């Protein structure tokens, strides 16, 4: 081929040494066949880390990194702008993640994510995420530039030494000024694999909520996380009767999520039900122990779209 498109780095994990490359690829990307990858290999679109084309019969080894140039698996367009940097030194970076950007893409189809953008920005560093935000959640997100810094901060997260504050717009007029939400959280018994539920046998969870304002059919909340369960804020607020505006998973019938995922409903139809183009949740402030011994606080201003929805709720649900 004359000109190669951008490539995607695909690591080979452990336990597969000696497997043929075409077979490994068809297992890693299960929506594409072994024949599909045999053709891509013949066209030189799958290469090793030194950019040398590989054959279908090449035997994989754990720890190797492939360069995959196949459109759809690899990017088909250039990267988005790098998120605003809120803090940076030679070990720790804090960014203001925009809504719509994945923290760490998974699956078969390519999507730009914070981690891939950061590795391109700091190519000589060991870039890792400290924590993740949902795709549609905006705000403060921490990364590290060396392995020891990452270990330090992840241990701090587990120990409860990283203090996280959020703001959200929720549906409904919250009647109380503040409340502690403590429903235990575990997987929901249902067909949506990623969905969590408040259940007696779940893990302990605590979210402190304070009302900052009420307007029309919305309330503006400040939220403090005391535990870090999956979807904790979204689930606790929905369980309290005030789901996050724009949330497609919690506070609406489960068919809303399934119909969109299975193509039985359009995105526009779904937005009309949930009330906004994305979930109105923002990571406002994070306080953490820096690896050098300092304590730092990083803040991200309330996202522009959320400010607009709060000040002019009449633009919803589509904000066109």
CA 258 to chain centre: 19
128, 134, 136, 305: the catalytic one is 134
Is-catalytic flag, 31? no
| Whether the Cβ atoms of residue 304 and residue 282 lie closer than 8 Å to each other | no
DSSP state of 175: -
| Whether the Cβ atoms of residue 193 and residue 212 lie closer than 8 Å to each other | no
Kindly report the number of other CB atoms within 10 A of residue 297's CB atom: 13
| Whether the Cβ atoms of residue 67 and residue 9 lie closer than 8 Å to each other | yes
Tokens read off for 233: 């804020």
**68 bridge partner residues:** 8, 46
- Would you call 194 exposed, middle or buried from its count of C-beta atoms within 10 A (0-12, 13-18, 19+)? exposed
Tokens read off for 62: 């754990």
Q: Which residues are catalytic?
A: 134
């Amino acid at each position: 081929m004359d000109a190669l498109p951008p490539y995607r780095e695909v690591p080979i994990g452990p336990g597969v040494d000696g497997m043929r490359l075409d077979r490994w690829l068809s297992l890693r990307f299960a929506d594409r066949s072994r024949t599909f990858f045999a053709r891509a290999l013949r066209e030189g679109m799958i290469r090793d880390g030194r950019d040398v084309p590989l054959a279908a019969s090449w035997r994989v080894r754990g720890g190797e990194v492939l360069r995959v140039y196949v459109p759809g698996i690899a990017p088909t367009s250039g990267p988005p702008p790098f998120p605003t940097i809120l803090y940076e030194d030679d070990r720790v970076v804090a960014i203001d993640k925009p809504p719509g950007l994945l923290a760490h893409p998974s699956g078969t189809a390519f999507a730009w994510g914070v981690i891939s953008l950061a590795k391109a920005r700091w190519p000589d560093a060991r870039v890792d995420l400290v924590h993740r935000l949902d795709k549609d959640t905006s705000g403060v997100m921490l990364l590290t530039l060396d392995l020891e810094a990452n270990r330090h901060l992840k241990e701090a997260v587990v120990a409860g030494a990283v203090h996280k504050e959020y703001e959200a717009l929720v549906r409904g007029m919250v009647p109380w000024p503040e409340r502690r939400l403590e429903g235990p959280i575990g997987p929901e018994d249902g067909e949506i694999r990623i969905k969590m539920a408040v259940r007696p046998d779940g893990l302990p969870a605590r979210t402190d909520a304070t009302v900052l304002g009420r307007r029309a059919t919305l309330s503006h909340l400040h939220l403090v996380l005391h535990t870090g369960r999956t979807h904790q804020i979204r689930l606790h607020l929905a369980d309290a009767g005030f789901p996050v505006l724009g949330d497609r998973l919690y506070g609406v019938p489960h068919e809303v999520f399934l119909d969109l995922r299975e193509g039985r409903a359009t995105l526009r139809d779904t937005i009309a039900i949930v009330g906004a183009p994305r979930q109105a949740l923002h990571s406002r402030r994070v306080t953490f122990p820096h690896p050098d011994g300092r304590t730092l606080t990083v803040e991200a201003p309330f996202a522009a779209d959320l400010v607009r929805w709060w000040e002019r709720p009449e633009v919803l649900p589509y904000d066109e």
